[in-house]
Amino acid sequence: MNVAIRFEIAPQGDTAAEIRWSGLDHAALIAANLAVVRLVEQAELVGLVAAVPGFETITVHYNPLVWESWRSFSQALRGLLLESQLATSFSGKLIEIPVCYAAEFGPDLELVAAHAGLSVAEVVQRHSGAEYRVQMLGFMPGFPYLDGLPPELAMPRKVKPRLEVAAGSVAIGGIQTGVYPVAAPAGWQVIGRTPLRLFDPMATVPALLSAGDRVRLCPISMEEFRAWEGRSR
């Protein structure tokens, strides 16, 4: 294992362990988490269930009936990590997501523009001109937390969340961008919508995006949005 990668393991209840890294930047954190996911999937340790990446940590779930104690499991997990060559770089696949920034789909676009001191066109240009990285999926199935928002577009969450936004709504929350995969309550600032379906529970791989993926948001017109509707992902 790369000696530059330092970590601690802590219990999360009686069925999971949290691995917390130190000395890694965001990109390296994502790479290390994805390396652990692959390691758990391939490991022959009995009782390993799944690894779930977060922002700065990764949670490894295990079957407590297989292990005598938390100590025995944590020692086995530590040994597995130390014996493995965890990667600290990962390019991830690039996925382009069409987004319509029309006023009908972006009720908070003007608010974001005023907060940033920019025109609506400048907000769209900067928001769609960045390359984002999926840090994790959470909040709801398939919801991507996208790192890479231009800092001038950072926007506080709403004081009073909306009761519902449409599936595909693209929004800004703090220093991140997200896409609501289904209709849901929302406290982020909605600035557009994608016609793509980000989560399909009947698909072999339900979520379109995975942690580590790179994302580009491609502006489309209302006409193009309507043409996209009904297509499969």
pLDDT digits (tens, 9 = 90+) for 115-153: 999 999 999 999 999 999 998 898 999 999 999 999 999
Specify the pLDDT at position 1. Answer: 41
- What is the per-residue DSSP string for 114-171? HHHT--HHHHHHHHHHSEEEEEEE-SSTT-EEEE---GGG-BPPPSS-EEEE-TTEEE
Domain ranges across the chain: 6-83, 94-228
Q: The pTM is what?
A: 0.82
Neighbours of 90 (CB within 10 A): 17
pLDDT of res. 92: 80
Confidence at residue 230, expressed as pLDDT on a 0 to 100 scale: 66
Higher pLDDT, 180 or 30: 180
Which of 5, 210, 209, 18 lies closest to 87 in space, CA to CA?
Answer: 5
Choice between 170 and 35, residue whose per-residue pLDDT is larger: 170
Q: Considering only the top CATH level, what class is 6-83?
A: alpha beta
Instruction: Give the Cα separation of 6 and 10 in Å (integer).
Output: 14
Distance (Å, whole) CA 100 – CA 111: 17
- In degrees, rounded to 5, the angle at the alpha carbon of residue 218 between the alpha carbons of residues 212 and 221 is 150
Q: Does domain 94-228 have CATH number 2.40.100.10?
A: yes
Whether the predicted pLDDT of 3 surpasses 50: no
pLDDT of residue 34: 86
Q: Give the integer Cα–Cα distance in Å for 5 and 29.
A: 10
- Mean pLDDT (the chain) is 91
Q: What integer pLDDT is reported at residue 4 of this predicted model?
A: 53
* Structure tokens belonging to residue 73: 């499991």
Equal CATH topology for 6-83 and 94-228: no
Q: What integer is the mean pLDDT of 43-57?
A: 87
Among 67-71, 197-201, 206-210, 212-216, name the one with the lowest average pLDDT. Answer: 67-71
